[in-house]
């Protein structure tokens, strides 16, 4: 059953301040109860959370209108935005994350921990949308504010640094990205331990940075060890274990071991689809690596078909101007220029 917004506002106008606070608190608690447990959301669960996003946005708007914004309501909105982001609906996630950050800034102040979390939450979404410069401009001041108000070892400071380095990585500032990532890795190890999911995730990110920096000495043995550590502590099907396996496969491809890389990429593809869902845009990143592994073995037709699928789906999901769509189009053009018997 739906109620028109004007009706809700007219009802709210006749409610006392004390009752508004109580109703807002109850609404936030009901929303939190509807969310999946922390770290345990399935593709279906994340998809269902997307249905809550308009309700969270409406709650924030009404809380702002009546001056009843709380840290709990902002944190709930930030978490919902994160789940919508993980579901792959990045446009909706950015809208909700921006609303949460704006609401928190106006009513709680720039330096409230909930505001810092909300502001930081926009970074990963901008990153996935290919808006790297915007993400960097947003995350730099968030990281500075977190350092000043929360301290360098606070998990939220480390989270902001982690997201900032990912953007700097894409922008080509590898030295600054490495410096930040080393701080994050040390901080997460000290605060959370070697076997925590965030620490293992950071080690995966370090492998990606090493590969793009052409630091290949002992890469394969390090990647294989990380896969084993992730599998032991998180389980073989956990998405961070899948990510570690992807890093290992990329190393095999770099080492010229195309057949082994293809086999491993197929395992990664299955793991991504199981963890995110078949239509999630992140699955396409694995599919293009599979295309590269096929190409390295001389499987021109298979490589071209995989590349075509990635290029078309990225264009449909991300748009023609997204950096990853442009890269996929270029790879497809390169692979497609060759027929099954060589260059045609």
Neighbours of 85 (CB within 10 A): 22
> Which residues fall within 8 angstroms of residue 34, CB to CB, at 6 or more apart?
49, 52
Least Cα distance to 80 among 43, 115, 114, 51 occurs for 51
- Cα separation of 15 and 319, whole Å? 46
CA dist 319 and 324 (Å) reads 9
Residue 255 in domain: no
The answer to whether residue 96 is domain-embedded is yes
Separation between Cα atoms, residue 128 and residue 135, nearest integer Å:
10
Residue 57 belongs to some domain of the structure:
yes
Count of domains observed in the chain = 1
What is the number of other CB atoms lying within 10 angstroms of the CB of residue 289?
22
Q: How far apart are CA 55 and CA 203, in angstroms?
A: 37
Residue 95's domain comprises 1-35+47-112
Is residue 12 in a domain?
yes
209 located within any domain: no
Residues whose CB falls within 8 Å of the CB of residue 135, separated by 6 or more in sequence, listed in order: 122, 123, 126, 127, 163, 167
227 belongs to a structural domain:
no
Query: What is the pLDDT tens value at each position of the chain, 344 positions in all?
Result: 344 343 334 444 555 555 656 666 777 777 777 777 776 567 777 777 878 888 888 888 877 776 778 898 899 999 999 999 998 999 999 999 999 999 999 999 988 999 999 999 999 999 999 999 999 999 999 999 999 999 999 999 999 999 999 999 999 999 999 999 999 999 999 999 999 999 999 999 999 999 999 999 999 999 999 999 999 999 999 999 999 999 999 999 999 999 999 999 999 999 999 999 888 899 999 999 999 999 999 999 999 999 999 999 999 999 999 999 999 999 999 998 655 443 33
What is the spatial distance between Cα 206 and Cα 308, in angstroms, rounded to a whole number? 30
């Amino acid at each position: 059953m739906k109620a028109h917004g004007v009706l809700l506002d007219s009802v709210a106008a006749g409610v006392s301040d004390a009752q508004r606070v109580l109703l807002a608190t109850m609404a936030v608690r009901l929303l939190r109860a509807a969310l999946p447990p922390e770290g345990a959301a399935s593709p279906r669960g994340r998809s269902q959370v997307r249905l809550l996003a308009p309700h969270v946005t409406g709650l924030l708007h009404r809380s702002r209108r009546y001056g009843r914004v709380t840290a709990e309501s902002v944190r709930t909105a930030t978490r919902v935005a994160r789940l919508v982001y993980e579901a792959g609906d990045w446009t909706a996630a950015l809208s909700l994350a921006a609303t949460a950050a704006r609401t928190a800034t106006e009513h709680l102040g720039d330096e409230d921990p909930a505001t810092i979390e909300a502001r930081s939450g926009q970074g990963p979404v901008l990153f996935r949308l290919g808006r790297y410069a915007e993400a960097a401009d947003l995350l730099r001041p968030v990281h500075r504010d977190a350092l000043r108000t929360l301290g360098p070892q606070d998990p939220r400071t480390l989270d902001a640094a982690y997201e900032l380095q990912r953007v700097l990585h894409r922008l080509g500032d590898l030295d600054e990205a490495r410096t930040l990532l080393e701080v994050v890795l040390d901080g997460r190890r000290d605060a959370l331990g070697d076997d925590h999911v965030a620490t293992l995730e950071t080690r995966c990110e370090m492998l990606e940075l090493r590969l793009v920096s052409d630091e290949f000495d002992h890469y394969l043995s390090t990647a294989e060890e990380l896969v084993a550590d992730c599998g032991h502590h998180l389980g073989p099907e956990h998405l961070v274990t899948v990510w570690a396996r992807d890093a290992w496969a990329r190393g095999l491809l770099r080492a010229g071991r195309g057949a082994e890389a293809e086999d491993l990429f197929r395992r990664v593809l299955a793991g991504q689809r199981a963890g995110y869902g078949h239509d999630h845009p992140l699955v396409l990143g694995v599919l293009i690596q599979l295309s590269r592994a096929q190409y390295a073995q001389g499987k021109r037709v298979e490589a071209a078909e995989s590349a075509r699928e990635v290029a078309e789906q990225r264009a449909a999901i991300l748009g023609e101007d997204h950096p990853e769509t442009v890269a996929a189009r270029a790879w497809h053009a390169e692979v497609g220029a060759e027929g099954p018997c060589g260059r045609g």
